């Protein structure tokens, strides 16, 4: 009998992408059956498209969980984390019966927002694993959570070496209990089929020189204030470097302004970018409204640098394709990721915020973009990105550290299945 594992991501592309990739690896490389639950409440079209793609392997079954009505439980102005927690809490209710109906899988792999599933799985004697979709640095801050059991990490030995060592040594030196950790990354979105717009973007990239493009993209929901977006656009223009700008309507409130609305937000960048910007930068710059197929852009040889909000998926995608970064963190644990990438790993640089102004000014953006595209500092971080690209792919290959970590866990499941 084949080993059967269930996978439960939180809503949102950020967590879904690595959990789906882990599910695919289990099916394709380790011969396991996987049922992946899709939280349909507030799901974006991009999420549904990804999870119902005809290219998913046959032994990976996506199960749509019944949508839940959370309107009576959250106010209109509730923040993103509140909405997420309520959505998860309500969607969790049928989990026990669904797991029983599925014949109790050998393991359940969850993501950070689903810690309540530990209790249900304990009752059913199903071992639960968490794919920690952020950095190891962030994990060290969350280790006190009493509900943590076993954890997979979307990282690899050569990338966060010191932090992994620190976690493993905690029980010996500080008497702090830590869960077993299995670095199995980088798990990133595979190159997806190009949409019409995506194909146009790649055709444009095909005409650009090697390593000449700066990609500016702030994750699935990141937005800037009006003032900051204006400075960014001017900085790009003044730098006279080539770029792709994923433009999103500015929000003067939350920096995660369009998290649940990635594909519904069809907008006209002319309405909020500086007057004449698109015309003046034509040929040098390409403006993509709301969304670009980021992996397709990052893997293209014309892409040289990525100005990123440092979400963990974006970070891993950039490194997988050897692209150094300008770190522009916005919310959640992104500042921690940015500090790690700049100060520890040496694969990114960070802009300076104008004193007392609260924005990065156009002159600073111009300076930084030129420096990273043309200067010595750019060469240094590019060199580091190439080293990490190599170590990431080695780790995932047969015999590599990440492949080996996953192989050992699968072996445990296989053995327990035979008992
Ligand atoms: N993404 C994309 N196009 C965009 C913006 C984001 O394809 O225009 C993808 C990106 O490749 C990544 C994910 O959305 O896989 C964003 O995840 P991340 O963890 O970087 O940030 P979050 O959206 O969770 O803040």
Q: What is the pLDDT of residue 141?
A: 66
pTM tops 0.90: no
Q: Do residues 38 and 48 make contact, with C-beta atoms less than 8 angstroms apart?
A: yes
Cβ(313) – ligand 1 distance below 6 Å? yes
Q: How far is CA 410 from the centre of its chain?
A: 24
Q: Residue 299: pLDDT above 60?
A: yes
What pLDDT shows up at residue 258?
A: 60
Q: What is the pLDDT of residue 264?
A: 45
Q: Please report which confidence band the pLDDT of residue 191 belongs to, taking 50, 70 and 90 as the band edges.
A: confident
**Lowest-pLDDT range of 188-192, 276-280, 341-345:** 188-192
Pair (260, 361) in one structural domain: yes
> Could you identify the atom of ligand 1 that is nearest to the CA of residue 293?
7
Q: Are residues 207 and 329 in the same domain?
A: yes
Decide if 102 is inside a domain. Answer: yes
pLDDT recorded at residue 399: 93
Ligand 1 and 413: CB distance under 6 A: no
- Average pLDDT of the residues in 406-418: 84
**Residues 400 and 324 reside in one and the same domain:** no
The pLDDT tens digits of the residues spanning 62-89 come to 999 888 888 888 887 777 778 888 888 8
Share of residues in the chain with pLDDT > 90 (%): 61
pLDDT of residue 235: 98
**Is there a contact between 213 and 294 (Cβ–Cβ < 8 Å)?**
no
Atom in ligand 1 nearest the alpha carbon of residue 291: 8
**At 260, is the secondary structure helix, strand, or coil?**
coil
Give me the CATH number covering residue 21: 3.40.50.2000
- Region class of 87: left (phi > 0), else alpha (psi between -120 and 50), else beta: alpha
Together in a domain, 238 and 345: yes
Render pLDDT for 223-275 as a digit per residue (tens, 0 to 9): 999 999 999 999 999 999 999 999 999 987 666 656 554 444 457 899 999 99
| Pair (222, 285) in one structural domain | yes
Q: Is 260 in the pocket of ligand 1 (CB under 6 A)?
A: no
Q: Which of 32, 312, 343 is nearest to 153 (CA)?
A: 312
> In this structure, are 328 and 408 located in the same domain?
no
- Domain-embedded: residue 191: no
Give the Cα separation of 347 and 308 in Å (integer).
Answer: 12
Q: How many domains does the chain have?
A: 2
Q: Assess whether 112 and 239 both reside in one domain.
A: no
Task: List 287's β-bridge partners, or say none.
Answer: 245
Within a domain: residue 419?
no
Atom of ligand 1 nearest to the CA of 330: 25
On whether the CB atoms of residues 323 and 306 are closer than 8 A, the answer is: yes
Average pLDDT over residues 312-324: 97
Residue 363 forms part of a structural domain:
yes
144 falls within a domain:
yes
CA of 292 to the centre of ligand 1 (A): 9
Shared domain check, 409 and 372: no
> Token digits for 281?
């930068």
Q: Are residues 343 and 209 in the same domain?
A: yes
What is the 13 CA–ligand 1 centroid distance (Å)? 7
Q: Which atom of ligand 1 is nearest to the CA of 308?
A: 20
Ligand 1 site-directed mutation target among 191, 216, 249, 314, most atoms within 8 Å of CB: 314
Residues 261 and 385 in one domain: yes
For residue 190, being part of any structural domain is answered with no
Q: What pLDDT does residue 247 have?
A: 96
Choice among 177-186, 299-308, 403-412 with the minimum mean pLDDT: 177-186
Q: What 3-state DSSP class applies to 108?
A: strand
358 shares its domain with 216: yes
**Domain residue limits at 222:** 196-392
Name the nearest CA neighbour of 323 among 342, 309, 302: 302
**pLDDT-based confidence at 26, cuts 50/70/90?**
very high
Q: What atom in ligand 1 is closest to the CA of residue 295?
A: 11
- 410 shares a domain with 385: no
Q: Is residue 200 part of a domain?
A: yes
Angle of CA points 406, 408, 409, to nearest 5°? 65
- Give a yes or no: residue 208 inside a domain: yes
Q: Which of 224, 287, 313 has the most ligand 1 atoms within 8 A of CB, as the residue to mutate?
A: 313
DSSP per position, 77-140: T--HHHHHHHHHHHHTTTHHHHHHHTT--SEEEE-GGGTTHHHHHHHHT--EEEEE-S-HHHHH
Which of 294, 310, 332 has most ligand 1 atoms within 8 Å of its beta carbon, as the pocket-test mutant?
294
In contact, 19 and 109? CB cutoff 8 Å: yes
Mean pLDDT of 288-312: 96
Instruction: Decide: 35 in ligand 1 pocket, CB within 6 A.
Output: no
Question: What atom of ligand 1 comes closest to residue 331's alpha carbon?
Answer: 25
């Amino acid at each position: 009998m084949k080993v059967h594992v269930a996978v439960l991501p939180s809503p949102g592309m950020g967590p879904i992408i690595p959990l789906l990739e882990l599910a695919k690896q289990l099916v394709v490389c380790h011969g396991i059956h996987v049922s992946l639950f899709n939280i349909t409440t507030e799901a974006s079209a991009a999420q549904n498209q990804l999870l119902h793609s005809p290219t998913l392997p046959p032994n990976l079954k996506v199960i749509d969980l019944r949508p839940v009505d959370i309107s009576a439980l959250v106010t209109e102005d509730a923040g993103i984390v509140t909405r997420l927690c309520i959505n998860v809490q309500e969607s969790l209710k049928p989990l026990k019966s669904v797991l029983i109906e599925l014949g109790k899988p050998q393991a359940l792999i969850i993501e950070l927002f689903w810690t309540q599933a530990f209790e249900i799985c304990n009752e059913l004697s199903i071992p639960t694993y968490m794919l920690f979709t952020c950095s190891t640095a962030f994990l060290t801050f969350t280790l006190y959570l009493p509900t943590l059991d076993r954890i997979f990490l979307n990282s690899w030995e050569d990338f966060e070496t010191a932090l992994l060592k620190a976690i493993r040594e905690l029980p010996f030196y500080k008497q702090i209990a830590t869960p077993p950790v299995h670095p199995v990354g980088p798990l990133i979105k595979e190159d997806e089929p190009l949409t019409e717009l995506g194909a146009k973007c790649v055709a444009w990239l095909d005409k650009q020189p090697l390593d000449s493009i700066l990609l500016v993209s702030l994750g699935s929901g990141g937005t800037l204030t009006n003032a900051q977006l204006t400075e960014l656009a001017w900085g790009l223009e003044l730098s006279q470097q080539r770029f792709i700008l994923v433009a999103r309507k500015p929000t003067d409130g939350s920096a995660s302004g369009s998290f649940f609305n990635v594909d519904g937000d069809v907008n006209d960048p002319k309405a909020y970018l500086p007057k004449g910007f698109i015309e003046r930068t034509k040929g040098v710059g390409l403006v993509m409204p709301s969304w670009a197929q980021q992996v397709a852009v990052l893997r293209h040889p014309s892409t040289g640098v990525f100005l990123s909000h440092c979400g963990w998926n974006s970070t891993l995608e950039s490194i997988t394709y050897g692209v150094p970064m300008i770190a522009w963190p916005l919310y959640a644990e992104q500042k921690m990721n940015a500090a790690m990438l700049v100060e520890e790993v040496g694969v990114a640089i960070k802009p300076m915020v104008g004193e007392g102004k609260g924005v990065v000014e156009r002159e600073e953006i111009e300076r930084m973009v030129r420096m990273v595209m043309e200067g010595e500092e750019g060469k240094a971080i590019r060199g580091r990105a190439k080293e990490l690209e190599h170590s990431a792919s080695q780790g995932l290959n047969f015999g590599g550290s990440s492949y080996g970590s996953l192989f050992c866990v699968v072996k445990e499941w296989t053995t327990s299945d035979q008992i």
